[in-house]
Structure 1
Amino acid sequence: MNNTKVALVTGANKGIGYAIAEGIGRLGYTVIVGARDETRRDDAVEKLHAADTDAFGVTLDVTSESSVAAAAVTIEERVGRLDVLINNAGISGRADAGAQDPTTLDLGVMQTVLETNVFGVVRVTNAMLPLLRRATSPRIVNISSNMGSLTRQTGPILAAYASSKTMLNSITTQYARAFNDTNIIINAACPGYVATDFTGFNSPRTADQGAVIALHLATLPDDGPRGGFFDDGGVVPW
């Protein structure tokens, strides 16, 4: 196993996930593109190769126990460890016909959103922990949103999505407590309202700008903050 650091980015085939993958590749990391869609995953890996980044793809459906377990085996065989895990894969969920109005909330939609945005993060994190524990300075970054901030309460009313990010923030702090006496540093990042297909490209803020905070948290020094919630402006209130 060589000394090049290795980063897994989930949902890395497009949008902020791809921008994060590209950015951490520029820092000299080997990048693992985790994504469900084979064609888009292969396209992302090709683009990274064209940018002189060492990269490969793994099939990764964060809602599937078997898919996540298989991805961990592949990573173990290919590179033997993980230095960085960026849990970026996420969905906003269907919002038509009052599906995310709390007064008419579609619990099926909420369940689907939680399955990816919260349970998926736990599933991937726990599967990758043995690989992360082999690194000298392992980092985990959970991509959250200030819509999950109980203080700020930004954005439209999206009861399933916003609640999933609040819960993601909470589980991030629980991991940080569990990792307190270890070298694993975990934090949550808000990339901001970024122009991607996730937002209908309805923002002047680029995916590259959104990726900056994730890259910062992925490369923190050993005395960096733990269990926090950050955006470009610094600490985001819970």
Structure 2
Amino acid sequence: MGGVNKKTALVTGANKGIGFAIARGLGTIGFRVAVGARDSARREEAVARLRDEGIDAFGVALDVTSGESVTVAAKTIEKTAGGLDVLVNNAGIAGRFDGGAQNPSTLDLDVMRTVLDTNVFGVVRVTNAVLPLLRRAESPRIVNISSTMGSLTLQTGPVLAAYAPSKSMLNSITAQYARELAGTNVIVNAVCPGYVATDFTGFNAPRTPEQGAAVAIRLATLPDDGPRGGFFDDGGPVPW
């Protein structure tokens, strides 16, 4: 299915929603797509759907909260594709918010730890595991899926004292990676897909997954002189 020189993209949490739309979009423009997901049945279903559309896709068992899983996933990608050109850190969770679990005054610290483990630590685990592969690529890109709820300036959305700070920290981590990698060809940015109709939002939102995916796809295919260490939505730069 794939040529020797075809670029490869890993999308985490790619079995549904925005992640699947990003995988499909990148596959449609010629990328070989590694579909990263924990659930094996949903992962293989997503791969089958992509292949039915003529997209070169393969599944990667990936639990971003497990160091062992992430290490094995990186080896799987290298063995299957020979390298990696794009990483989209899409996997994320909102966390439980019933009973005031995410009100600051009654914040459940276990909920916060769980959210941070996926939304922040998971991004670091995956990024560091595949960074050696990305460094070998000609024009490597890392795109972290964030949210304007993490913007300290905008402070959008409801009060969610675990989820929103996790995205603020993700934005800061993105900037730190960009600073460290400033002298390399690895370009790192964060994006907000907007309020998208997925199971994450109870499908009660005005934007489609494809609309949400568009900005991530654009940042994943930036030219070599593209922006670094920024935070963007489809309207342009987002204030921190």
TM bucket (normalised to shorter chain) is: over 0.9
Q: Secondary structure at the match of 1:153?
A: coil
Distance 2:47 2:82 in 1: 20
Report 1:18-33 matches (<5 A).
18-33=20-35
1:112 paired with 2:114, answer yes
Distance 2:71 2:141 in 1: 20
Q: Which residue of 2 aligns with 1:171?
A: 173
Report 1:1-238 matches (<5 A).
2-238=4-240
Deviation at 1:196, TM superposition (A): 0.1
Q: Which moved more, 1:71-80 or 1:19-28?
A: 71-80
Deviation at 1:80, TM superposition (A): 1.5
Distance 1:28 1:232 in 2: 22
Distance 2:59 2:105 in 1: 41
Gap regions ≥5 residues in structure 2: none
Q: Secondary structure at the match of 1:159?
A: coil
Q: Which amino acid aligns with 1:89?
A: A
Q: Which amino acid aligns with 2:60?
A: V
Distance 1:123 1:101 in 2: 28
Deviation track 1:178-230 (CA, whole Å, cap 9, x = no partner) reads: 00000000000000000000000011210000000000000000000000000
Distance 1:109 1:59 in 2: 25
Q: Secondary structure at the match of 1:188?
A: strand
Q: Secondary structure at the match of 1:155?
A: coil
Q: Which amino acid aligns with 2:101?
A: A
Q: Which moved more, 1:74-83 or 1:186-195?
A: 74-83
Deviation at 1:134, TM superposition (A): 1.2
Q: Secondary structure at the match of 1:42?
A: helix
Deviation at 1:166, TM superposition (A): 0.0
Q: Which amino acid aligns with 2:95?
A: G
Q: Which amino acid aligns with 1:73?
A: K
Q: Secondary structure at the match of 1:86?
A: strand
Q: Secondary structure at the match of 1:22?
A: helix
Distance 2:30 2:49 in 1: 15
Distance 2:152 2:58 in 1: 38
Q: TM-score, normalised by structure 2?
A: 0.98
Structure 1 stretches of 4+ with a deviation exceeding 3 A read none
Q: TM-score, normalised by structure 1?
A: 0.99
Aligned-pair identity in percent equals 73
Deviation at 1:76, TM superposition (A): 1.0
Deviation at 1:2, TM superposition (A): 1.0
Deviation at 1:121, TM superposition (A): 0.1
Q: Which amino acid aligns with 1:180?
A: A
